[in-house]
DNA sequence: ATTTGTACCGAATTATATTTTGCATCTAAT
DNA sequence: ATTAGATGCAAAATATAATTCGGTACAAAT
């Protein structure tokens, strides 16, 4: 599988990142090819794994998930087994929508969403703090998000 | 516009969050309705703004954006005018894909992507540190991401 | 020069989305 | 209880879009 991206591929990726629901016909117009090779390129991008998946983005307020936070979590020891215990527990909590292992002594950044502050507190106390290997948790509540781009730049 | 979501709506949202490319026919099967009312519901969810948009998710490594970081930024003073200067500058930097205003004295969390550490450093020095109102920057490099769910739970 | 592979186009085919129609259910007012 | 209005539905018909197919052009390798 050839992963080399030309200018047209990058344009396709740019467009599909910002609007996944564009029709192939419209996409082909915007990149200046006919529908057939356009579709071929898109399929190639999908099959090669460059495009991993397609997702609907929801309005958190409108679905009643008004509280979003970042949580910085430290473990009691950042050995492999503790990390595995942590990962497994985190994966079961659907309100934890992201979990990243970051530099700094074995620490993690989580993104958590909740209905309101009360349910957030409950969630953290009952589900996250409760994970045996968790040492410290530090929450930052997101007051507002003024950039949340789903479009990543693609280097040449 | 009625924003009340019933069980079927929540199921639709759940499915479209994890797979935006599902056909209406398949979606209707999974929720147990016929295509017509299914499409009606999806359109209603789109028009009401509950579904904001649809996006392709790319593989950061495969597009050559191997470095992702969280950056905690503090401003020299967190008054309205400084925040506006900061926001405007940040919006122009396409490598900064997220920017959130968080609790703590006027601080921000950014998510930044780059080709490699060298270009990351260059980006931060030349574009981010350079914003006049920025006081302090603290970077955390993401070593690995083991949860990045695009599916938010929806409360009843 | 010939072969091989790749990318492209236009047209035909197939799949899918959208609209329409009419029926069933529910609610509220009489 | 009955009626009127609204809502939601299934099924069929239509419109639109995606996909496939055959063929052409071009580039690189032999």
Q: List where CATH 3.30.70.920 sits in chain A.
A: 67-141
Please, where in chain A does CATH 1.10.10.10 lie?
A: 7-47
Q: How far is the CA of A139 from the C1' of C20 (A)?
A: 53
The string of DSSP letters for B8-33 reads HHHHHHHHHHH-TT--HHHHHHHHTS
- Outline where DSSP puts E strands in B20-81: 51-58, 67-75
pLDDT at position A156 is: 86
Question: Could you count the other beta carbons within 10 Å of the beta carbon of residue A1?
Answer: 8
Burial code (b: 16+ CB inside 10 Å, e: under 16) for B87-117 equals eebbeebebbbbbbbbeeebbbbbbbbbbee
Rounded CA separation A69/A139 (Å): 7
- pLDDT (tens digit per residue) in B36-67: 899 999 999 998 999 999 999 999 999 999 99
Mean pLDDT, 10 residues at a time, chain A of 156 residues: 83 96 94 93 93 96 96 92 96 98 89 97 97 96 96 95
Two structure tokens written together for A56: 């609907």
Residue length, chain A? Answer: 156
User: A67-141 is classed in which CATH architecture?
Assistant: 2-Layer Sandwich (3.30)
Topology adopted by domain B7-47? Arc Repressor Mutant, subunit A (1.10.10)
Judged by DSSP in three states, B115 sits in: coil
User: Are the beta carbons of A70 and A109 closer than 8 angstroms?
Assistant: yes
Low-confidence residues of chain B: pLDDT under 50: none
At which residue do the structure tokens 């147990």 appear? B32
Q: Identify, with chain letter, the residue nearest to nucleotide D7 (CA–C1').
A: B37
Measured from the Cβ of residue B47, the count of other Cβ atoms closer than 10 Å reads 10
CB-based contact A100 B145, cutoff 8 Å:
yes
**Rounded to 5°, angle at Cα B58 from B88 and A26:** 85
Partner-chain contact B140 A104, CB within 8 Å: yes
Pairing of strands B107-114, B96-102: antiparallel
- Rounded to whole angstroms, the Cα distance separating B106 from A118 reads 23
Give the pLDDT score at A50: 95
Whether the Cβ atoms of residue A60 and residue A68 lie closer than 8 Å to each other: yes
| Residues of chain A with C-beta less than 8 angstroms from the C-beta of B105 | none
* Shortest CA gap B68–chain A (Å): 10
Model pLDDT, residue A105: 72
Q: Which residues are within 8 A (CB) of B104 and not within 5 positions of it... i.e. 6 or more apart?
A: A140
- Interatomic separation, CA of residue A13 and C1' of nucleotide D20, rounded (Å): 24
**pLDDT digits 0-9 by tens, B25-42:** 999 999 998 898 999 999
């Amino acid at each position: 599988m050839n992963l080399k991206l030309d200018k047209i591929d990058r344009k396709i990726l740019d467009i599909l990142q910002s609007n996944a629901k564009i029709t192939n016909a419209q996409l082909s117009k915007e990149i200046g090819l006919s529908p057939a090779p356009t579709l071929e390129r898109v399929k190639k991008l999908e099959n090669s794994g460059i495009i991993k998946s397609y997702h609907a983005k929801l309005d958190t307020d409108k679905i009643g998930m008004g509280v979003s936070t970042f949580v910085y979590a430290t473990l009691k020891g950042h050995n492999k087994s503790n990390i595995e215990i942590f990962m497994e527990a985190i994966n079961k909590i659907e309100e934890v929508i992201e979990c990243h292992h970051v530099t700094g002594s074995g620490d993690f950044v989580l993104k958590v969403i909740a209905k309101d502050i009360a349910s957030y507190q409950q969630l953290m106390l009952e589900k996250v703090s409760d994970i045996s290997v968790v040492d410290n948790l530090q929450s930052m509540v997101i007051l507002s998000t003024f950039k949340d781009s789903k479009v990543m730049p693609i280097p040449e």
